[in-house]
Structure 1
Amino acid sequence: MGPDLIEYLRLLQQLKSYNNVPTELIYSLQSYTSIVYRSDVQNRFSEPMPWIGIYIALASLFCIIAIVADLLHGLRNRKLWFPCKYFTLNAASLSVIAIAMKLPVDLNNSMPGDVDQAAKLGSMGFMCTMMSNLLPALATLDSKELVTNIIALGVLVITIVVNVCIQIKTGVVSSIEVWYLFDDDYYSNSVSYYTMPIAIIYVAMLLMLLIMHACSALAILKSKQILEMKYQAAHETAMKDKELQQPGRLSVDKIKQLVSNYWIMASTGNPQFFTACSATSCASGVISAISTVLHVIVILLIVGSLGDFRSDYKWSALVILITQFIGSIVGTMAPLSRCFAALSFKLSIKWIWNNMNVFKVESYWTQTLYDLKESTMPFLSCSRKFKILLENTKVIVLSFCIGFQKTVVVTCKMIGLIPIFIVICIFICSCCWKWLKSMFNAFGIVLIKEPEQHETNKILSHYVLQLQEDAELAERTLKRISYSFERIIKKAEKQQPYNLMKLVEGYRGFRRAEKFDSHHVLSLLLEESPSCWSLPLVTLTTMAISLPNIKKDRVDCLLSGVSEGMVYVTIVEDSLNATDDHVIIQKAAQTLWLEVEIYQKWLGNKLRKPVPLANTAGQILLWLRDTAKNMVTRVESRDTKGQNDSSKFWSISASSMYRITEMILHSNHAHVDKVSPEELFEQLSSMIADIFVACLTNLPQVIAMKCHSSEIEKREASVYAAAQLLGETMQILNTIQDSELPSLNPDDLVFIVDKLGA
């Protein structure tokens, strides 16, 4: 029993002890025992509710952090339309949002306090803000994901709307609460008068945002097809250059221009860019701003009664209110910025005049519905009358949907007139400023000297992708996109692999040592693993760091250079050598390199003077050769079918070591004991540099391959990776181009390492 019930029973016993208390009164009071018991049980069940409120606040905080991350990402990359990178629409985000919306869907817990009512209303405002932020994220989904996530979002929003309507009906969200009938402070409560109308407004905005998401999804499906067709046409134009068809002759300037062209195509052809510039996105920004204003009004109404929380959530209701209020304020920034940024991207007199015609609905908004309307239904064995009924029903339903879609688009454009008028004022001020600047320039006073980039912008404009044929991208927007590309290159140049450059700078035209025939060494190595650079690099590095009497700083410098270079070798191999045989060798090389770099071991054997009696370079080579040979023999003696991945890895690594050491010993004949460790270390380092140069010669082709992606959702990220790779390796590529390469055909340069032994 709870303390309330115990106290109530004690009072009843005390009343029974009095003779002057009527028996009927005592029996009447005893009938309330069950009510007190249920109340006591309910109080015990509601004890965890404050911690559930903290759980709700934490879920809201996760959403806010993701929204802020998108804001910072957009500001950092100068993308004022703020693409959705972290706060996206998927199963995880919908689950977190559902937790954050616990208050609006809570039908049973009464919310009599001012803070309780404000928190419930604030949750709906926060939901409006989150939906406005999620709108561009629809463009990141493929067709199947788009349908499933829109349905999931619709179920969540409709659940919130239905539950809030029920609460309005039952009085949980209402202007009159039964608890206030016994409260002397009822008439001092100001928020209760506005709870119901504000809740109804929020319900209407949630439904409008859900409709906008559904309409945007239909437009995205068609717009991706249009953008894909235009991208393929621009891709063919970009690849017409004859030099691009000969990867071995690609200069750094040519590959930079190619990446710049693809950056323009990926940026303007980004589905998120289209969605952020659409009428629905602009309208959602306005709705988000209105919901935030309502949220601020609610906070102002209860600012004098922040301690009035009477629900089971207790003090946690205030935590939820403050957290979601901050989320609404911060979350409104991105939708509003998208709204004004979208207008500035295409800002011109012609564009403004066209958009003032709000009754014009572009074809991509309704084309998907028209295609469904004209398509045939897959009938099974059914009667002719039933087929006619289904077909007529389909036509009627889709005709209604087309009309409804047009109505939504027109409504969104009418809502979008609000920021358009603001932008017109800014545009007029900008024109006045340009006119004043030209007047001053006419008198010889130069206020701001702008660089001449008209020719460059004219070339880049050929790669701008637009949904509408008559649409034109503002010149300032094209400059901004070009500037963002230059920023990526300059930022990547600060991350260049300096240790690798030191290693490669010692290379001069594939020069070879006189004592060791490196041509034969590399030829023997590549007989079984053509076009694989990582394994010989790891093997040669293993030999170099195992030599005695080599200064530690030289070994560390070599390890650092190879470590930096292996990153780019892996990129090249993954791009050019994707066969199963190459993949097995590459995995073996990666596993072996981890052991060599971190633990200074080779297949479990310690390097750096591995055996006590091996004090010369020749003895080290002999020990490595014999150890590798024993490993190969031991692995081959086992059943080949029973070999696991570890056995294959040992076999590949040991075979590579045996072939290289055997060839070096054979090339040196009987003078191996006379070779100093320093001399052998120099020769091995030279061979390592040669292989790096051979591999990195393919980087221009790899960068060109990364520019083109078949998936429209990943296209911008792919071009970004190509630009990042170009910036990091630009100095190395210039060094390689300035070197004297062997006289090979351009096609042979792609796999130049195969020709080293020719």
Structure 2
Amino acid sequence: MSYYQLADSPLALGNENMGDNNDSPMPIIGVYVAAASLACSFAMFLNSCLTFINSFPKFNLRFSRNFFPLNATWLTLLAVATKPVADLTTPKLSYQDNQAKIMNTVFLTVAMGNFFTSLGSMNNADIVTNLTALSILVITVVVDLYIQLRFHVFDTPSSLVIIIQIALLFSTWITIVSSALAVPAIKKRAESKYQKLASDERQMKAGQQHYRVEELRLSITKYWVMAASGSPQLLMKRLVTFVYTNIICLFSALIAFLALFSYGMVNDYNSIYIQIHSEYKWSVDLILLSQYYVTLPTVVIATIFMISVVGYKYENNGIRISREEVTIESYWTEKLVEWRQRSIPIKFKRCTLRKLIHSIKSLILNFCILIQIVNVMWCKFCSVISFYLVLPLLLLVNPLGKLINHYLGQLFRKKKVSEVDLNCFVILLEGEKQFPKKLLRGIINRVDKLVEMGKKQRPHNLFNLLNQSFSFGGVVQFDSNRVPSLLSGEPLNCWTLPVVTLTSIAIAIPNIASRHVDWLVSSANEGLRYASLIDVLDGKCGLKSSIKNAADVVWVGVELHRKWLDMDLKRKTGEISSVKDIIQDLTNVSERIVMEFSSKENRMIVENPLYWPANVLAANSMYRITRTILLYYEDGECQGEELFRMLICMIADILAACLTNLPHMIYTKCISNAIEERLKSVRAAAIIFGETEDILKIFEERKLSNVGPSQPLCIDEWRGWIEQQAALVSSSATSNGASSVESNEHVVIKMQA
């Protein structure tokens, strides 16, 4: 009796039913595999969508990231998703099993293609670690597939497809390893070119203490072009190996689709293998669905990418292939040559043994260099072939693209700066003649979109608050030298803590309309965001970190709950009717907090403000400011509305003095970052510029940018400078007699401008 006759017998049917009734873990495992596959597919789909949208310069995203990077998390999920390909226990596969193993191989190939750009954002240690893990996974899959081919587990049509997919998978892995070897040299060259361009730009700005608004915007655009063209992700996308991985992913996905549809056309296959059931049972369909899900976007995105690459080459050289297209750049073999020339870290007593090991190492690395050269040459050859294959498609699509750009360009494109003027700020790879004009135009349009995005988030309340500043006098007035210190040491000042304390006092004043209090809190919150960024730029940032932390801790309670260190400010208002009594109560509470700290803590900690906790630093600030207010009103009654207006003016003065550093802060964000974080930092600078452009223009019109000390980042420097100006005015008034009032008014007007 044949196998198929036995399968139709009642005995076989009974056995089959018994097998179905038995509890099997395989469907549950299949669901687990499908869930891991779906997570990977969704991440790759987001990457594909991001790549697709970024291919249109007119659009701008609020985020730019890699959703599927090469790391331990995604490698673990990928290992789970490719479990069916490693199953070696089934002697004969069902139709779904054949498809699942083919899709596993395609899935791993596509996943490695998505991993490619994340190589640029990793350091050397991460590259070695992650590539080692990826290599173990790929080699395991290849070996398992070879064993199954060796023992004829696959059907005949599937065997041919699996052999092709193994070749494509292995080629992708070799290409990724080859590209990873070139990453350090590529980043080193890009960083060197960036530092040269940035140094030339800084030399042009040397001696310039203040920046005009338009000059600052142009500087942001220049640094954006440098950061974008030299970003690790874009550098990786411009490598010929990236083009090759896209070709492989496209070819692999197309073969999977052809295999899927061709098997349905084979009658013999349907009549024989359709009767064999998968051990994963119904869950195998979930696995296939979750992995087929990622192949269609892969085909679409890879096709779009190939058309865009061919378009850039056609734009630069026409149908001719330049010599650089077939030249091996030095960065491909630089790391291998460096390893070959490096001495052996292990020391041997015998010189002969050292020579032998060094010769073996050189021989192995020479072989690796040869493989690297051959692989890059093969990638370049495939790139050239793909250029001529895709060129007819480009010539058909190009007129349609120009027509779309013609109609949409007026709506989305707003070119601020000519890309011709910024060509010298583009960071080119070795072997690149010029940067594609469309890509450069897209980069410039992107920074314009970021500025426009910032303009939609303007701090309107802060802008209105700054209009309440009549001078910078509040920088000195909030803390009087006549107030004695509670402890032997006094902490340094920063911009944020005085603003937080003054706002807390303003909230505690009775009989103030809630809308005015809410407006002040909102205005201070907008100002504190920029003040905290400027505080970080202070040279004494390390010494003031605890003070900044105290301001952050206190502000959470003030903004959200109208509480200062768990003290309900509005409740205190209801208990005490007099404004002066409220200020005195805040003084007493803050003094008690500081004195309790001094009585309980170690003397060395008490004498060093660096070690004071956040509540003590906040209490010390509250004590000094409230005592200063009480000194101001010591001979008269304190009126609530008058004090509220005075506090608003102080806060406005402090924030106005602080925000004169905005151009310096924006410029610093553009220049002081590592290559992996540079694009993100310049992006933040462009958005902040858009948010604060109106404030910067007001400062420029009033000439406030030219007012202040030589070290304007520090509030203590401002206090010293204002006191010095007041002393000069006082001495001038003494010498000129009757003209003293006029001189004093002149200084105030100059500061207000």
- Give the TM-score normalised by structure 2: 0.84
* Cα 1:422/1:529, change in 2 over 3 Å: farther
Alignment partner for residue 613 of structure 2, among 626, 636, 648?
A: 648
Give the structure 2 partner of residue 33 of structure 1. Answer: none
- Alpha-carbon separation, structure 2, partners of 1:433 and 1:122: 35
Q: CA deviation at 1:555?
A: 0.8
Per mean C-alpha deviation after superposition, the further-off stretch among 205-214 and 683-692 is: 683-692
- Alpha-carbon separation, structure 2, partners of 1:530 and 1:241: 35
- Alpha-carbon separation, structure 2, partners of 1:100 and 1:433: 40
Give the structure 1 partner of residue 234 of structure 2. Answer: 273
Deviation per residue, 1:592-625 (Å, 9 max, x gap): 1111112221122211250655212212111111
Contact map agreement 1:344 1:474 (CA 8 A) in 2: no
Structure 1 unmatched runs, 5+: 1-10, 12-28, 30-35, 176-192, 437-446
Per mean C-alpha deviation after superposition, the further-off stretch among 379-388 and 520-529 is: 520-529
- Alpha-carbon separation, structure 2, partners of 1:663 and 1:357: 72
Q: CA deviation at 1:257?
A: 1.3
SS in 2 for 1:713: coil
Residues 168-567 of structure 1 aligned to structure 2 (within 5 Å): 168-172=149-153, 174-175=154-155, 193-242=156-205, 245-247=207-209, 249-303=210-264, 310-345=277-312, 347-350=314-317, 353-355=320-322, 359-422=326-389, 424-425=391-392, 456-468=418-430, 471-510=433-472, 518=477, 521=480, 528-530=490-492, 532-567=494-529
- Alpha-carbon separation, structure 2, partners of 1:694 and 1:308: 81
* Cα 1:449/1:353, change in 2 over 3 Å: farther
- Alpha-carbon separation, structure 1, partners of 2:564 and 2:601: 24
Give the structure 1 partner of residue 94 of structure 2. Answer: 113
Q: CA deviation at 1:738?
A: 2.8
- Alpha-carbon separation, structure 2, partners of 1:733 and 1:435: 39
- Alpha-carbon separation, structure 1, partners of 2:235 and 2:476: 59
- Determine if the alignment matches structure 1 residue 74 to structure 2 residue 35: no
SS in 2 for 1:231: helix
Alignment partner for residue 154 of structure 1, among 108, 116, 135?
A: 135
Same amino acid, percent of matched pairs: 28
Residues 565-644 of structure 1 aligned to structure 2 (within 5 Å): 565-576=527-538, 579-610=541-572, 612-640=574-602
Contact map agreement 1:78 1:484 (CA 8 A) in 2: no
* Cα 1:453/1:721, change in 2 over 3 Å: closer
Q: CA deviation at 1:551?
A: 0.6
- Alpha-carbon separation, structure 1, partners of 2:479 and 2:36: 64
* Cα 1:604/1:167, change in 2 over 3 Å: same
SS in 2 for 1:711: coil
* Cα 1:307/1:561, change in 2 over 3 Å: farther
Per mean C-alpha deviation after superposition, the further-off stretch among 135-144 and 352-361 is: 352-361
Contact map agreement 2:230 2:426 (CA 8 A) in 1: yes
Residues 7-22 of structure 1 aligned to structure 2 (within 5 Å): none
- Determine if the alignment matches structure 1 residue 741 to structure 2 residue 704: yes
Give the structure 1 partner of residue 648 of structure 2. Answer: 685
Which AA in structure 2 matches 1:409?
A: V
Per mean C-alpha deviation after superposition, the further-off stretch among 210-219 and 625-634 is: 625-634
Q: CA deviation at 1:590?
A: 0.7
Give the structure 2 partner of residue 705 of structure 1. Answer: 668
- Alpha-carbon separation, structure 1, partners of 2:400 and 2:616: 74
Q: CA deviation at 1:367?
A: 1.9
Which AA in structure 2 matches 1:58?
A: A
* Cα 1:232/1:524, change in 2 over 3 Å: farther
Residues 86-97 of structure 1 aligned to structure 2 (within 5 Å): 86-97=67-78
Give the structure 2 partner of residue 750 of structure 1. Answer: 713
* Cα 1:453/1:690, change in 2 over 3 Å: closer
Contact map agreement 1:309 1:315 (CA 8 A) in 2: no
Deviation per residue, 1:344-371 (Å, 9 max, x gap): 4454444864457754212111122222
Q: CA deviation at 1:430?
A: 9.3
Give the structure 2 partner of residue 25 of structure 1. Answer: none
Q: CA deviation at 1:554?
A: 0.8
Contact map agreement 1:547 1:681 (CA 8 A) in 2: yes
Which AA in structure 2 matches 1:684?
A: L
- Alpha-carbon separation, structure 2, partners of 1:522 and 1:482: 51
Give the structure 1 partner of residue 692 of structure 2. Answer: 729
SS in 2 for 1:376: coil
Q: How many residues align?
A: 690
SS in 1 for 2:84: coil
Deviation per residue, 1:640-661 (Å, 9 max, x gap): 3697999722211111111001
Give the structure 2 partner of residue 23 of structure 1. Answer: none
Deviation per residue, 1:548-593 (Å, 9 max, x gap): 1011111111111112222222222223356333111111111111
SS in 1 for 2:83: coil
* Cα 1:743/1:587, change in 2 over 3 Å: same
- Alpha-carbon separation, structure 1, partners of 2:677 and 2:432: 27
Contact map agreement 2:472 2:657 (CA 8 A) in 1: no
* Cα 1:387/1:352, change in 2 over 3 Å: farther
Q: CA deviation at 1:450?
A: 14
Contact map agreement 2:510 2:577 (CA 8 A) in 1: yes
SS in 1 for 2:293: helix
SS in 1 for 2:699: helix
Cα RMSD after superposing both structures: 3.6
Give the structure 2 partner of residue 132 of structure 1. Answer: 113
Which AA in structure 1 matches 2:595?
A: T
Give the structure 1 partner of residue 750 of structure 2. Answer: none
Contact map agreement 1:281 1:335 (CA 8 A) in 2: no
Structure 2 unmatched runs, 5+: 1-9, 404-408, 724-753
- Alpha-carbon separation, structure 1, partners of 2:481 and 2:711: 16
Give the structure 2 partner of residue 50 of structure 1. Answer: 27
- Alpha-carbon separation, structure 2, partners of 1:607 and 1:725: 33
Give the structure 2 partner of residue 657 of structure 1. Answer: 622
Q: CA deviation at 1:269?
A: 0.8
Which AA in structure 2 matches 1:105?
A: A
Per mean C-alpha deviation after superposition, the further-off stretch among 494-503 and 96-105 is: 494-503
- Alpha-carbon separation, structure 2, partners of 1:679 and 1:452: 48
Contact map agreement 2:531 2:659 (CA 8 A) in 1: yes
Per mean C-alpha deviation after superposition, the further-off stretch among 490-499 and 68-77 is: 68-77
Q: CA deviation at 1:270?
A: 1.4
SS in 1 for 2:290: helix
Contact map agreement 2:496 2:548 (CA 8 A) in 1: yes
Q: CA deviation at 1:731?
A: 1.9
- Alpha-carbon separation, structure 2, partners of 1:631 and 1:132: 60
- Alpha-carbon separation, structure 2, partners of 1:301 and 1:449: 46
Which AA in structure 2 matches 1:143?
A: N
* Cα 1:119/1:150, change in 2 over 3 Å: same
Which AA in structure 2 matches 1:538?
A: V
Give the structure 2 partner of residue 444 of structure 1. Answer: none
SS in 2 for 1:112: coil
- Alpha-carbon separation, structure 2, partners of 1:264 and 1:407: 34
Deviation per residue, 1:337-392 (Å, 9 max, x gap): 44333444454444864457754212111122222223332351331221221122
Q: CA deviation at 1:153?
A: 0.8
- Alpha-carbon separation, structure 2, partners of 1:435 and 1:133: 29
